[in-house]
Amino acid sequence: MSDVLLERRDGVALITLNRPETLNAMGGDLVPRLAETLADVEADPAVRCVAITGAGRAFCAGGDIRAMQERNDRIAAAAASEGPGAVIAEFDRLVAELRQRHREISLRLHTMPKPVVALVNGPAVGAGFSIALACDIRLASDRARFGAAFRNVGLPGDFGGSYFLQRLCGAGIARELYFTAEIIDAARALELRIVNRVIPHDELLAQGLDFCRRLAEGPTGAYARMKENLNVAETATLEQLLDQEALHMRIAGFSADSREAVAAFLEKREPRFIGR
């Protein structure tokens, strides 16, 4: 069975990380398959909201420790048999590969022109935490746990967690969570504004998909422009953002969804959005 599962329903693409025997650690084919799946759902106009969850009792345990050891052994063997040149070549390859995966996963989640919701069903640690943070909204099971556990394997962190976390809970808390690798529960994550809602575990998938379905029934084009405005606002001046908002407001005003919503308001009925 594939390391990443995809199901489309009611305008929602449900992506399931599917290595439950490793708590959905990012080994095997999970990372390339996730990258391919995200590209697929972004390009599919029938998908108007994306949900990500994990199979079994975890969302994602982050890096695969066994795969890390295999990489270390491979580099050591190359150094012994081929010398420093082989190590440098392998280093360059690994950096390029990780940068590409960052763009294909975290950057795509953050910039995809449709809402992305993490349904965090259990532990989300290390790079798994980063992936949850890259999503627009996080709905957490009351059994979820969160942690930037990179220090436990002597690493600084990847997949954008250091970018997203401090924007949610502030620089001081983000540094504390990174430096200590403290694991926090769902209630604490909600208090720190890391998650949007906490839902009883047995109701997470049903409530989460209902939430996503309601987003999928909304004005997808407007969501895309909202998301772009919010992303621009992370680094723009106020003047630059106001110019961006003006452009997007006028573009959206010509859309079918906006015309439908205005007519529905005047006719005192619910709008029927088509995503354009």
Give the CATH number, domain containing residue 238: 1.10.12
Q: Taking the CA of residue 144 as centre, how many other CA atoms within 13 Å lie in the half-sphere pointing to its CB?
A: 35
One domain, residues 236 and 257 = yes
Structural element, H or E, at residue 50: strand 49-54
Domain end residue (candidates: 216, 236, 256): 216
Q: Give residue 275's pLDDT band: very low, low, confident or very high (50, 70, 90).
A: confident
- What is the average per-residue pLDDT within 197-225? 98
Q: Is residue 41 part of a domain?
A: yes
Task: Report if residue 274 sits inside a domain.
Answer: no
Note the pLDDT of residue 84.
Answer: 84
Find the domain containing 239 and state its range: 220-266
pLDDT at 66: 86
Question: What number is the average pLDDT over the span 1-21?
Answer: 97
Question: Is 27 a member of any domain?
Answer: yes
Judge if 192 and 230 occupy the same domain: no
CA angle 169–187–178, rounded 5-degree value: 40
User: What CATH number does the domain containing 129 carry?
Assistant: 3.90.226.10
Higher pLDDT, 261 or 83: 261
192 in the same domain as 232: no
Name the pTM for this structure: 0.94
The percentage of residues in the chain with a pLDDT greater than 90, rounded to a whole number, is 89
Both 92 and 203 in a single domain?
yes
What is residue 133's predicted lDDT score, i.e. its pLDDT? 98
Domain finish residue from 198, 216, 234: 216
Q: 45 with 138, same domain?
A: yes
Task: Say if residue 78 is in the same domain as residue 206.
Answer: yes
Q: Is residue 273 part of a domain?
A: no
Q: For residue 85, is it within any domain?
A: yes
Which of 174, 192, 216 marks a domain boundary?
A: 216
- Does residue 212 sit in the same domain as residue 227? no
| pLDDT tens for each residue of 14-36 | 999 999 999 999 999 999 999 99
Q: How many domains does the chain have?
A: 2
Are both 28 and 140 inside the same structural domain?
Answer: yes
Residue 132 resides in a domain: yes
Same domain, 193 and 254: no
- Same domain for 126 and 261: no
Residue 271 lies in a domain: no
CA atoms within 13 A on the CB side of 173: 16
Q: Cα dihedral sign for 124, 126, 128, 130?
A: positive
Q: What is the mean pLDDT of residues 104-116?
A: 98
- Res. 87 pLDDT band, cuts 50 70 90: confident
Ramachandran angles phi, psi of 50, nearest 5°: -120, 135
Q: Is residue 250 part of a domain?
A: yes
Summarize the confidence of residues 95-118 as an average pLDDT: 98
Question: Beta-carbon neighbour count of residue 38 at 10 Å?
Answer: 23
| Chain segment 134-180, per-residue pLDDT in tens | 999 999 999 999 999 999 999 999 999 999 999 999 999 999 999 99
Structure confidence at residue 246 (pLDDT): 97
Q: Residue 207: what pLDDT?
A: 98
CA 105 to chain centre: 7
Are both 123 and 225 inside the same structural domain? no
Distance CA 201, CA 106 (A): 26
185 or 81, higher pLDDT:
185
Q: What is the pLDDT of residues 29-84, one digit of tens each?
A: 999 999 999 999 999 999 999 999 999 999 999 998 888 898 888 888 888 888 88
Same domain membership, residue 233 and residue 203: no
| pLDDT tens-place string over residues 215-249 | 999 999 999 999 999 999 999 999 999 999 999 99
